[in-house]
Structure 1
Amino acid sequence: MAELVKNTANITTVNVEEELTPPWKEAWQSFCKNKLALVGLGIVIFFILLAFIAPSVAPYSSTDQNLVERLQAPSGKHWFGTDDFGRDIFSRILYGARISLWVGFFSVLGSVILGTLLGIVAGYYGRWVDAIISRCFDIMLAFPSILLAIAVVAILGPSLQNALIAIAIINIPNFGRLVRSKVLSVKQEEYIMAARAVGMKDTRILFRHILPNSISPVIVQATLAIATAIIEAAALGFLGLGAQAPTPEWGKMLSDSKQYLVQAPWTLFFPGIAIMLTVLGFNLMGDGLRDVLDPKMKQ
């Protein structure tokens, strides 16, 4: 009898521990089961670390020119070779990681903040507020994203900061419509109706109850949007509308080296590989987060 009671107590303890498992811990355990997502996370962490330690790791300055060593092939002295101004490509890629990640993170952060605010207001209040905001989103989405970004940069002027603003603007509708659709379903829940019935203010309902229950798809979309933002920043840099010389931005490096494709292919290969790996890392990580946070994927 004593052994039976002991076993019953152990089973009860295990059940209680499983019930008390924090949601974030459960999500992390599910994320760790996805090997590709872990590979993506590893790639992202690797490039973030490179961006932070670039000044300590880079063997040369990213802007110093040495025309005597221009267009040298990869060697022990210059691991990734040199460009048409004799600048070390390895050092420029390390510093370029800081720029590309900075543009990716902060442009998406701006899109998330503005898009979430507009989406939550449109979904909660509805009627003419929803109509105006939704039509603005539809108009922006009617244009190809890169063309809209080019138009914004053309108005503001070519620079890295203006490219960041342009990328943030073109991604606002994506987050706005995502949040709006989520709010439309969440606001019909009984606990929201109860909060209204007791006279709770709209701002408290929005930011205490609706927003926390609508944020999961935003996290997934933001992770994937960073990858898109890095590509868009590289595209604007390639067109001469983003970072300006001698800034070591990966897209600008591709643009400056395109005429040496046959003579010095390494000048295009290594920046292109850096863009590809970074985008791949964020995409794999975003897919893993979607599998963890999306209830439909769980089912």
Structure 2
Amino acid sequence: MAQLMTNINNGNPLITEEKVSGPWRDAWKAYRKNKIAMIGLIMIVLFIVIAILAPLIAPYDYKAQELSSRLKPPSWAHLFGTDDLGRDLLSRVLYGARISLWVGAFSVLGSIIMGTLLGILAGYYGRWIDMIISRVFDILLAFPSILLAIAIVAILGPSLQNALYAIAIINIPTYGRLVRARVLSLKSEEFITAARAIGMKNSGILIRHILPNSLTPIIVQGTLGIATAIIEAAALGFLGLGAQPPAPEWGKMLSDSRQFIQTAPWTVIFPGVSIMLTVLAFNLMGDGLRDAMDPRMKS
């Protein structure tokens, strides 16, 4: 927005611009000042680019087996070495980024959608709806998350898709309780009372007021949740309940190579380091978003 002022001495108009400000713009400015968080964002972008361009930058087909080259150490021909079937580890790690990011992003998206819906219903309407939904959350949280995921996959059958469903289900209470607490604090605010006073329907209040004002904690928790989902997917893959051969899932690669830790440590190091770096990147980004978007963290 520009403000027009008149310079009395020179008689010329002087235009000064007011900086456009907003909560999202301010949050981005605060986020950019956090160097560690920016490192996390750059790492995530790098992993996304690798996942998208994996067919172009992978030197070999991740399924191609060459038994004569099995368990070869890193070299110019195979930068990450080969596994027990002679498959190029670099190619499998690059393709594995696709699976880990896909499972992490879509499982968290499913958890957010269901958790947000149930949390809004429980927090806004209360009474018996809140009681039923809260008890369901308590039951799900009573089980260790990985054990519950194992049970769900055991019922549905081992596969990458079922692992995604299991990870999404076990994380629904996390987002549901977060949104419920936010809604309970929002529905007593004056602007909600004013919206009811002018005759706005509950659906309009939920969509236009409650949901937008609940996005900040959801975004922060969702970013951190992707890191947790990647670890859970790797754990299910390690147990043989996630991606099935020959899919190059990092957890499955660790499981297949655990017997070669001493004789061929590179078969474990590179998938393990990939998991560590990806989870670290999302944790750094999530911490940065929390600091940038939480008004209590601002001076």
Q: Report the TM-score, using the length of structure 1 for normalisation.
A: 0.95
Change (3 A) 1:181 1:6: farther
* 2:223 corresponding residue in structure 1: 223
**TM-superposed deviation, 1:141:** 0.7
1:147 counterpart = 2:147: yes
Q: Tell me, in whole angstroms, the C-alpha distance in 2 between the residues paired with 1:164 and 1:291.
A: 29
1:176 counterpart = 2:176: yes
Identify unmatched segments of 5+ residues in structure 2: 1-6
Change (3 A) 1:4 1:285: farther
Q: Tell me, in whole angstroms, the C-alpha distance in 2 between the residues paired with 1:60 and 1:3.
A: 73
* 1:194 corresponding residue in structure 2: 194
* 1:277 corresponding residue in structure 2: 277
Cα deviation, 1:130-152, whole Å, max 9, x if unaligned, reads 11101111111111110110011
**1:122 partner amino acid:** A
Q: Tell me, in whole angstroms, the C-alpha distance in 1 between the residues paired with 2:199 and 2:214.
A: 22
* 1:82 corresponding residue in structure 2: 82
Change (3 A) 1:125 1:5: farther
1:2 counterpart = 2:2: no
**TM-superposed deviation, 1:25:** 2.1
**2:145 partner amino acid:** S
Cα RMSD after superposing both structures: 1.6
Residue 241 of structure 2 aligns to a residue whose secondary structure is: coil
Q: Tell me, in whole angstroms, the C-alpha distance in 2 between the residues paired with 1:174 and 1:24.
A: 24
Q: Tell me, in whole angstroms, the C-alpha distance in 1 between the residues paired with 2:284 and 2:12.
A: 45
Change (3 A) 1:6 1:234: farther
* 2:34 corresponding residue in structure 1: 34
Cα deviation, 1:231-251, whole Å, max 9, x if unaligned, reads 000000000000111100000
Identity of aligned residues (%): 68
**TM-superposed deviation, 1:197:** 1.6
* 2:247 corresponding residue in structure 1: 247
Structure with greater helix share of residues: 1
Q: Report the TM-score, using the length of structure 2 for normalisation.
A: 0.95
* 2:138 corresponding residue in structure 1: 138
Identify unmatched segments of 5+ residues in structure 1: none
* 1:102 corresponding residue in structure 2: 102
**TM-superposed deviation, 1:24:** 2.3
Q: Tell me, in whole angstroms, the C-alpha distance in 1 between the residues paired with 2:237 and 2:277.
A: 18
* 1:267 corresponding residue in structure 2: 267
Q: Tell me, in whole angstroms, the C-alpha distance in 2 between the residues paired with 1:206 and 1:3.
A: 55
Q: Tell me, in whole angstroms, the C-alpha distance in 2 between the residues paired with 1:78 and 1:44.
A: 25
Cα deviation, 1:222-264, whole Å, max 9, x if unaligned, reads 0000000000000000000001111000000000000000110
* 2:43 corresponding residue in structure 1: 43
**TM-superposed deviation, 1:6:** 8.7
Q: Tell me, in whole angstroms, the C-alpha distance in 2 between the residues paired with 1:274 and 1:88.
A: 15
